[in-house]
Each structure stands twice: as structure tokens, then as C-alpha cells.
Chain A
Amino acid sequence: GAVVSQHPSWVICKSGTSVKIECRSLDFQATTMFWYRQFPKQSLMLMATSNEGSKATYEQGVEKDKFLINHASLTLSTLTVTSAHPEDSSFYICSAAGLAGVPSYEQYFGPGTRLTVT
């Protein structure tokens, strides 16, 4: 149980376009979803925390107008990278929390989406 999927697994787009990444919890209702970004040889950095039905909370330094997060249901959160630029190329990973009786730091990670902006 506790499977999280992401789509797409990889994407290449041109500079200036927008890219949407989906994160789904397949067998549980995720009250909270987290979005991380990982650059090569660096650690995962939390970008934002989203709770179903409310606005996402962004970490310091993450532009909320550039990285649009929507968490409209208990099984789906989306991250849209707007007007992507080459410096946005990274590995984007989501995680989900919310299993009954399980603390929210016990998160289930999606397989990640590798974004390359040309």
C-alpha cells in the first residue's frame, strides 16, 4: 500500500513554456502533499507544502507565481512550472502524507519527474 505516482516521469520543454506535473496517491487519501526539487549532487529541497482544499505554503525563496500548486482532491496535487527556463531544469519529487494514525513526517515519495528546459 501507500503508493504515490507522478506523471510525467520525464519531460523536455522549450524555454518560456509551462509544464504541469501530477502527483497522485493511488491507494490512500493524502491530506498533505509536499513538493521537492533536487539539483544534481545536491539534497532534496522542499519547495512547498500543500493541504487539500487550501493554498500551498511555499518555502522561502520559492516563487509562488512561478511554481503553481493545486491540491484540489485528496489524491491529486499538481505543480505547474510557468515560463520555464533552463535553470528550472531539475528533478521534481512529490511526497504524500495522511495515512490514518500515521504522523505527517512519514511520507511516501513519488518516483520523480525529470524536467529539462532547453
Chain B
Amino acid sequence: RKEVEQDPGPFNVPEGATVAFNCTYSNSASQSFFWYRQDCRKEPKLLMSVYSSGNEDGRFTAQLNRASQYISLLIRDSKLSDSATYLCVVNLASNTGKLIFGQGTTLQVKP
């Protein structure tokens, strides 16, 4: 079983749509959680951290369910510029800094 699993997609949605990505992780000792965005042939960039209480940043909302070991990302009012691959990332222990990346979910927003 992969340590971090995501539906690879692709998700093809029209502009303005709301889209949700899911992610599960296998290690219950995981401590920190993130969503990164990766554009084609580029490095990943941190989109947002994910907290147990849920957090929002503009059109983006992230949720964490530790009991189910499940993380989600909701994007509202999709823009063309949101087209990218979204990576679910988990850190096992903050003192090691080791990040475990999911395979990524590809989003294509069409006009």
C-alpha cells in the first residue's frame, strides 16, 4: 500500500466549477499535512498546510480527518490558472523534515 494515495485523475472541469480532491495516508503517526501544486515540468510549490480544524485560503479549503487518515482540498470557482497537478504531502516527524508525496491529482480547467 502506498504511504500517500491520491486519485490521479485527470479532472476536467469548466471554469467556475467546484472541484474536490481526496487523499489518504497510511501512517497514523503522521504529524503534518500539506497540499502542494506542481505545474508541468516545474518544482512543487506549497499551496497550503492542512490543519485538523480545517483551513481556508481564498478559494481553497483544506480539511483533515485524522481518525480516517483522510485529507481533502476543495477549489471553488475554478480558474484556468488552477490547471496543475495537486500533490498531497505528509510529514511523519517534524524533526526529520521528511516529506512523503502522493502521486498527485491532475486538474484541467477548461474555458
Contacts and interface: CB of A to CB of B under 8 A. Distances in A.
Interface of A: 32, 34, 36, 41-46, 49, 91, 93, 97, 103-107, 109-112, 114
Interface residues of B, number: 22
Contacts of B104: 43
A111 B43 contact: yes
Interface of B: 4, 8, 32, 41-46, 87, 91, 94-104
A103 B43 contact: no
Contact of A46 (B94, B95, B98): B98
A28 to B, nearest CB: 15
B43 A110 contact: yes
A78 to B, nearest CB: 18
Main secondary structure of the interface of B (DSSP, over half): loop
Given A42-B103, A43-B102, A105-B91, A112 B42 contact: yes
A93 B99 CA distance: 13
Nearest to A103: B94
Contact of A43 (B32, B94, B97, B101): B101
28 contacts: A34-B97, A41-B8, A42-B103, A43-B4, A43-B101, A43-B102, A43-B103, A43-B104, A44-B44, A46-B100, A49-B96, A93-B43, A93-B44, A97-B97, A103-B94, A103-B97, A104-B95, A104-B97, A105-B91, A105-B94, A105-B97, A105-B98, A105-B99, A107-B97, A107-B99, A109-B45, A110-B43, A112-B43
